[in-house]
């Protein structure tokens, strides 16, 4: 690595507790004795393995739960300098928001102690503060609790909500994120809970349909946040859609600009053209289903709508759709590839050099 080149950053690595008992050990009563679903319970289960081969932890512990193994596979074997860890959870879709907040607090504690403050890779891991959108005051307190931790670099929120994130009662979350100087990453919650059906036409009949459709859920949040003026009111807010489908931002931006032009009269709190709110606000983790793959126009497509400055490589390790740098389109320019593989993430997370935080 030359001094000028940015660090290589895997912007989305999924981490887990070792098992249910491990999670309960991190919970205090009365929550330790409560009932809640396991993250691997799914209405739609993939026909085939759920996790990438060889990611099981020692002694049968959950894939993505052992820091040494994850560090070796994600950083050493794939040649990355840093990994942003995003704990997977069910807490954000539980009906009892007190329980959800307690689960997130336990998750954050585990992440800090086990991954960011100890072990051979601690100086190369960065963390996500998971907070509960169903408990905005509690979420703000949790952000306050972790904002000064040197290795916590982003806030994590579930994609599935009962109302879109543009609604005004979420504002304290954006204020707290801006005050903490952290971007907000949104990822699909695992497990089962109180969610709306995954499509406007209800449940799907197949896993293929479900797994290809659900990453696009962010579109509703993004449209609503723009029209509700979230990015106008919080010019420092940066959001990361961590399930992929960044390729969809191009047609939906065209649509929102074209259709939205006369609607701006209805939303003076968002007076600019919708596309003006993308730059420096919107980021994506690249997904394995994102196009166009090996097309000759891959570079041009990435340039359109400014996606080349939004998309970041994230492996989603240890998911079955774990991505590798060789999965990225070969048609991208060297400059685009460098941005995606770390340049953009380095700026976003403030990871500039190979200096331990």
Identify residues 220-239 at the interface with other proteins (CB under 8 A): 220-221, 223-224, 226-228
Burial of 206 (0-12, 13-18, 19+ CB in 10 A): exposed
Q: How far apart are CA 25 and CA 117, in angstroms?
A: 19
Binder among 107, 217, 322, 336 for other proteins (CB under 8 A): 217
Contacting range for other proteins; rule: CB under 8 A; set: 22-30, 111-119, 170-178, 192-200: 192-200
Q: How many residues bind other proteins (CB under 8 A)?
A: 81
**Sheet-wide strand order for 311-312:** 9-15, 82-87, 125-130, 152-158, 184-187, 239-241, 282-285, 311-312
Q: Please, how many CA atoms are within 13 Å of residue 42, restricted to the half-sphere of its CB?
A: 16
Rounded CA separation 18/114 (Å): 11
Q: How far is the CB of 69 from other proteins (least distance, A)?
A: 24
Does the protein bind other proteins through residue 197 (CB under 8 A)?
yes
Q: Determine, following the binding rule CB under 8 A, whether residue 65 of this chain makes contact with other proteins.
A: no
CB nearer other proteins, residue 304 or residue 357: 304
Cis status of the peptide bond prior to 318, with omega within 30 of 0: yes
Q: Does 252 bind other proteins (CB under 8 A)?
A: yes
> Looking at 248, 285, 310, 348, which residue binds other proteins (CB under 8 A)?
248
List, in sequence order, every residue forming a beta bridge with 213; answer none if it has no partner: none
The residue from 108, 195, 315, 322 that contacts other proteins (CB under 8 A) is 195
User: Virtual CA dihedral for 345, 141, 114, 287, nearest 10 degrees?
Assistant: -30
| Binding to other proteins in span 106-165, by CB under 8 A | 159-165
Position 251 contacts other proteins (CB under 8 A): yes
Per DSSP, the three-state class of 126 is strand
- CA 128 to CA 156: how far, in whole Å? 6
As a whole number of angstroms, the distance between CA 171 and CA 189 comes to 21
Please state the closest distance from residue 233 (CB atom) to other proteins, in A: 10
**Nearest approach, Cβ of 204 to other proteins (angstroms)?**
7
DSSP state of 104: H
Of 59 and 265, CB closest to other proteins: 265
Tokens of 199: 């499509």
The interface region with other proteins, picked from 9-17, 121-129, 205-213, 348-356 by CB under 8 A, is 205-213
Query: Which part of the chain contacts other proteins (CB under 8 A), choosing from 19-27, 75-83, 202-210, 308-316?
Result: 202-210
Interaction between residue 347 and other proteins (CB under 8 A) = no
By beta-carbon proximity to other proteins, the closer residue of 117 and 233 is 233
Closer residue to other proteins, CB minimum distance, 6 or 246: 246
**Alpha-helix residue ranges (DSSP H) falling in 283-330:** 298-303
Kindly list the distances between the CA atom of residue 33 and the CA atoms of 27, 90, 132, 267, 310, in Å, as whole numbers in the listed order.
Answer: 9, 16, 20, 47, 42
User: Hey, which residues between 255 and 314 contact other proteins (CB under 8 A)?
Assistant: 255-269, 271-273, 275, 288-293, 295, 297, 300-301, 304-305
Q: Compare residues 123 and 327 and give the one whose CB is closer to other proteins.
A: 327
Spatial distance between the Cα atoms of 304 and 301, rounded to a whole number of angstroms: 5
Q: Which of residues 69-108 bind other proteins (CB under 8 A)?
A: none
Give the angle 307-309-314 at the CA atoms, nearest 5°.
Answer: 85
Q: Find the shortest distance in angstroms from Cβ 28 to other proteins.
A: 31
Q: Is 185 in the site for other proteins (CB under 8 A)?
A: no
Query: Where in 315-334 is the site for other proteins (CB under 8 A)?
Result: 321
Which positions from 12 through 51 interact with other proteins, judged by CB under 8 A?
46-48
């Amino acid at each position: 690595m030359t001094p000028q080149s940015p660090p290589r950053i895997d912007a989305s690595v999924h981490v887990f507790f070792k098992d249910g008992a491990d999670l309960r050990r991190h919970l205090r009563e009365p929550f330790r004795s409560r009932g809640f679903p396991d993250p691997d319970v799914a209405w739609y289960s993939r026909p085939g393995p759920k996790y990438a081969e060889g990611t099981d932890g020692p002694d049968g512990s959950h894939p993505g739960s052992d820091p040494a193994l994850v560090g070796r596979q994600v950083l050493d074997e794939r040649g990355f300098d840093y990994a942003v860890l995003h704990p997977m959870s069910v807490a954000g879709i539980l009906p009892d928001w007190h329980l959800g907040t307690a689960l997130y607090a336990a998750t954050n504690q585990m992440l800090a102690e086990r991954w960011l403050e100890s072990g051979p890779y601690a100086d190369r891991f960065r963390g996500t503060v998971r907070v509960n959108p169903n408990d905005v005051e509690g979420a703000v307190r949790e952000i306050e609790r972790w904002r000064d931790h040197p290795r916590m670099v982003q806030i994590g929120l579930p994609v599935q909500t009962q109302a879109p994130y543009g609604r005004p009662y979420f504002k304290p979350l954006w204020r707290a994120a801006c005050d903490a100087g952290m971007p907000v990453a949104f990822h699909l919650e695992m497990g089962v809970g109180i969610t709306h059906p995954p499509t406007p036409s209800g449940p799907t009949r197949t896993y293929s349909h479900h797994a290809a459709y659900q990453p696009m859920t962010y579109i509703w949040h993004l449209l609503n946040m723009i029209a509700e003026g979230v990015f106008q009111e919080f010019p420092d807010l940066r959001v990361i859609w961590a399930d992929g489908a960044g390729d969809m931002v191009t047609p939906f931006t065209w649509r929102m600009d074209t259709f939205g032009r006369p609607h701006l009269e209805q939303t003076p709190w968002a007076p600019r053209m919708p596309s003006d709110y993308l730059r420096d606000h919107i980021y994506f983790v690249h997904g394995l289903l994102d196009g166009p793959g090996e097309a000759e126009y891959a570079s041009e497509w990435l340039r359109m709508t400014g996606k080349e400055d939004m998309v970041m490589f994230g492996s989603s390790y240890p998911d079955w759709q774990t991505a590798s740098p060789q999965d990225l389109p070969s048609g991208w320019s060297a400059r685009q590839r460098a941005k995606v593989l770390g340049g953009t993430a380095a700026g976003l997370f403030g990871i500039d050099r190979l200096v331990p935080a």
